[in-house]
Amino acid sequence: MSAATVSPSSEVLQAMDLTCINTIRTLAMDGVQAANSGHPGTPMAMAPVAYCLWQQFLRFDPEDPVWPNRDRFVLSAGHASMLLYSLLHLTGVKAVSKDYETLGDPSVPLDALKTFRQLDSRCPGHPEYRWTSGVETTAGPLGQGVATSVGMAIGRQWLAARYNRPGFENLFDFNVYALCGDGCMMEGISSEAASLAGHLRLSNLCWIYDNNHITIEGNTALAFTEDVATRFIGYGWNVTRVGDANDLDMLARAFRTFQSTKDRPTLIIVDSHIGYGAPHKQDTSGAHGEPLGEEEVRLAKRNYGWPEDEKFYVPDGVYDHFRQGIGKRGRELRDAWFARIEEYRKQYPEFADELLRMQHRLLPVGWDRDLPEFPADPKGLATRESSAKVLNAATENIPWLIGGAADLAPSTKTRLTWEGAGDFSAENYGGRNFHFGIREHAMGAIVNGMSLVKLRPFGSGFFIFVDYMRGSLRLGALMELPVIYVFTHDSIGVGEDGPTHQPIEQLAHMRAMPGLIMIRPADANEVTEAWKVILQLHHEPAVLVLTRQAVPTIDRTKYAPASSLARGGYILADAPGGAPEVILIGTGSEVSLCLDAYEQLIREGIRARVVSMPSWELFDDQDKAYRESVLPPCVKARVSVEQASDFGWSKYTGSDGHNICIESFGASAPLKQLLKKFGFNVENVVASAKSQIARHQSGG
């Protein structure tokens, strides 16, 4: 046969490319229209980009969407969720359970597209990790997805540095792609993350920037005129441009450029038309955040050469085309990787065991064998200091426990000092000490990304700066990621730094967040027990809140053992000879103050009980019988002691209890003066206890 006979099949292939692209577009349009809510414009514009990436380049097996060396695709422009849902449907991605078992059912059946944004649909307004298989991260707020993708890319580099061994140099070599828009570029978190990615020369990271010049309020010229390309070149990125989002050849060339770039991350700037094909709404804000309307949908379909009145229409051949493209390629890559793992297991059984445990959130055998116990000491040490000792012991036994600080490791005491820990850098991707720089918000998203590739990351900073990373922390809780946050300088114990650095409301903020476990330990041994609890979590992020100042190490031969911390709250010291007349409840550094007040009350013949309450979440998880054994309903006289807002304490002290707290923003002064000013002394606690007893005995 002559070479000319190849041409028709090539034309047919090109026609099928366009058919698939328009199927993505029309499914997105129909889903938004059916919901009467959503963002159709970006899926219509970026369908060719997503199609080119998925069909030609993405190493992803729809039949097994969680195989460890798959490429990651992050939709940072999460409002364009119908773009991703359409891809998940057309490529036949299978649903996976929380135990990482492929269920065989489609992750996004056609009916799910029809119930976009409806109750319990697998297609919520913004893609949600764990809820819809094939969604690699929850990226609702703009900028979060691209920042999280940096953590994923970091995770791959660390995995490769540790586990890629002679004969298995490509065991971990996946790439991370993130699709973002003008909103992501404007959010500060993307600048933080891009700066760090460039510094670390993450060549496995590719951001695809949808440059359509439209946001909700109108043209980006209203507020955004910077030269993005020059900005990213300044960050140390490779920057390439595609002048037309519909040019599949140029898109493919750009992706090949990324794959051949080995010394830096890549930004692909794609010029597009939001709402492409909609005759009245293309290039307008009207295509951004609202349905096109039935008539505009019909006209757009007419422009595509599509049946105008067909809804959720998938032409013949589309499913099979994706199966022969990404489906076939992904399955071959996945099967080859698992075959390599079997060989790897024979040559490197210890590393293979680590990988298996990591993937299933399991800990190594004997991980807790070296965790320290601390002798009683009235002078004690800061809980940040005892945490440093525990963390160093744990990281030596848990190889994939990795993290650092937002430029505050000398203060948060999170530096790993054992021989061989090393610093993670562009020259040493196997280092265990991570330097986020002064980028708290990006740190929060990056540790989420590291966790999503199954590392066990921690990030640390001063507790006051949790405000800078609340959005990322919230998404970690929503995704049920066992990320660890170590926050120090937890109270007015910061002293002379003053109210700008004294976290008064942060404890209440953390306690209000669903799915998050916060622990504020009272002494060094509670710190050890806190780490034991945290490291065994599978689905909950944990916040460990620690002191700057020294606190006494409680004598556990006299008072209850610290192991009871696992129950969130426990009786530390009880009334001798009968039921307590008053209960003192403290957290963190205030527990030792409660013990001092307790001893004075006992000397005066008053039956008091001290409850250490390091974690409300853990305590509330206990059964009612246990909770009432610690806080008997019949004992109404109660005093809480915490150097923070009293918001929420009435749950434990009752409406008639007393809360020794802080109701202002603190002050700048030496600690002893602050403790006196705000009433954190034995005299005030004792007086408050007596007042409570008198009040409840009189029926007041």
Question: Average pLDDT in the 355-362 region?
Answer: 96
At 179, which amino acid appears? L
How many DSSP H helices and E strands does the chain contain? 25, 22
pLDDT of residue 577: 84
Distance CA 73, CA 548 (A): 41
Q: Residue 422 pLDDT > 80, yes or no? A: yes
pLDDT in tens, 480-500: 999 999 999 999 988 888 999
Cα torsion for 86, 444, 225, 291, to the nearest 10°?
30
- Confidence band of 6 (pLDDT split at 50, 70, 90): very low
pLDDT in tens, 200-250: 999 999 999 999 999 999 999 999 999 999 999 999 999 999 999 999 999
Q: Residue 427 pLDDT > 70, yes or no? A: yes
The sign one gets for the Cα dihedral 244, 247, 251, 257 is: negative
pLDDT of residue 8: 36
pLDDT of residue 7: 34
Contact yes or no for 23/305 (Cβ under 8 A): no
Distance CA 265, CA 200 (A): 9
Those residues whose C-beta lies under 8 Å from the C-beta of residue 91, and which sit 6 or more positions away, are 54, 62, 322, 326, 327
Contact yes or no for 149/449 (Cβ under 8 A): yes
In this structure, what token pair is assigned to residue 669? 């002064």
pLDDT of residue 102: 67
Q: Residue 662 pLDDT > 90, yes or no? A: yes
Q: Residue 1 pLDDT > 50, yes or no? A: no
Long-range Cβ pairs for the range 339-342 (8 Å, 24+): 340/168, 340/171, 341/171
Cα torsion for 362, 364, 365, 371, to the nearest 10°?
-110
Q: Residue 268 pLDDT > 80, yes or no? A: yes
pLDDT in tens, 164-190: 999 999 999 999 999 999 999 999 999
Q: Residue 357 pLDDT > 50, yes or no? A: yes
> Which phi and psi angles does 569 have, rounded to 5°?
-150, 145
Q: Residue 97 pLDDT > 90, yes or no? A: no
pLDDT, greater one: 8 or 198: 198
Q: Residue 13 pLDDT > 80, yes or no? A: no
What's the whole-number average pLDDT of the chain? 95
In this structure, what token pair is assigned to residue 603? 């000397």
Distance CA 262, CA 244 (A): 26
Question: Average pLDDT in the 407-427 region?
Answer: 97
pLDDT in tens, 436-494: 999 999 999 999 999 999 999 999 999 999 999 999 999 999 999 999 999 999 999 88
Check: pTM over 0.85? Answer yes or no: yes
- Confidence band of 587 (pLDDT split at 50, 70, 90): very high
Question: Average pLDDT in the 109-123 region?
Answer: 97
H or E element, residue 268: strand 266-271
Question: Average pLDDT in the 112-133 region?
Answer: 96
Annotate 209-223 with b (16+ C-beta within 10 A) or e (fewer). Answer: bbbbbbbeeeebeee
Strand 433-435 relative to strand 484-488, pairing: unpaired
**Cβ neighbour number for residue 449 with a 10 Å cutoff:** 33
pLDDT of residue 158: 98
DSSP 54: I
Q: Residue 589 pLDDT > 60, yes or no? A: yes
Inter-CA distances, 559 with 87, 382, 565, 573, 579, Å? 60, 20, 13, 6, 17
Those residues whose C-beta lies under 8 Å from the C-beta of residue 226, and which sit 6 or more positions away, are none
Instruction: Indicate which residues carry an active-site annotation.
Output: 440
pLDDT of residue 700: 60
Contact yes or no for 354/52 (Cβ under 8 A): no
Q: What percent of the chain has pLDDT over 70?
A: 97
Strand 517-519 relative to strand 542-545, pairing: parallel
Inter-CA distances, 159 with 67, 433, 635, Å? 14, 15, 54
Q: Residue 298 pLDDT > 90, yes or no? A: yes
Helix 41-52 and helix 6-35: axis angle, to 10°? Answer: 150
Question: Average pLDDT in the 648-653 region?
Answer: 97
Question: Average pLDDT in the 115-139 region?
Answer: 96
Question: How do the residues of the chain divide into helix, strand and coil, expressed in percent and rounded to 5?
Answer: 45, 15, 40
DSSP reduced 3-state for 191: helix
In this structure, what token pair is assigned to residue 198? 């460039």
pLDDT of residue 11: 58
pLDDT of residue 12: 55
Distance CA 516, CA 539 (A): 9
CA-closest candidate to residue 580, choices 628, 642, 637, 619: 637
DSSP reduced 3-state for 592: helix
Q: What percent of the chain has pLDDT over 90?
A: 93
pLDDT of residue 626: 98
pLDDT of residue 233: 98
- Confidence band of 3 (pLDDT split at 50, 70, 90): very low
In this structure, what token pair is assigned to residue 132? 């819809």
Question: Average pLDDT in the 86-106 region?
Answer: 87
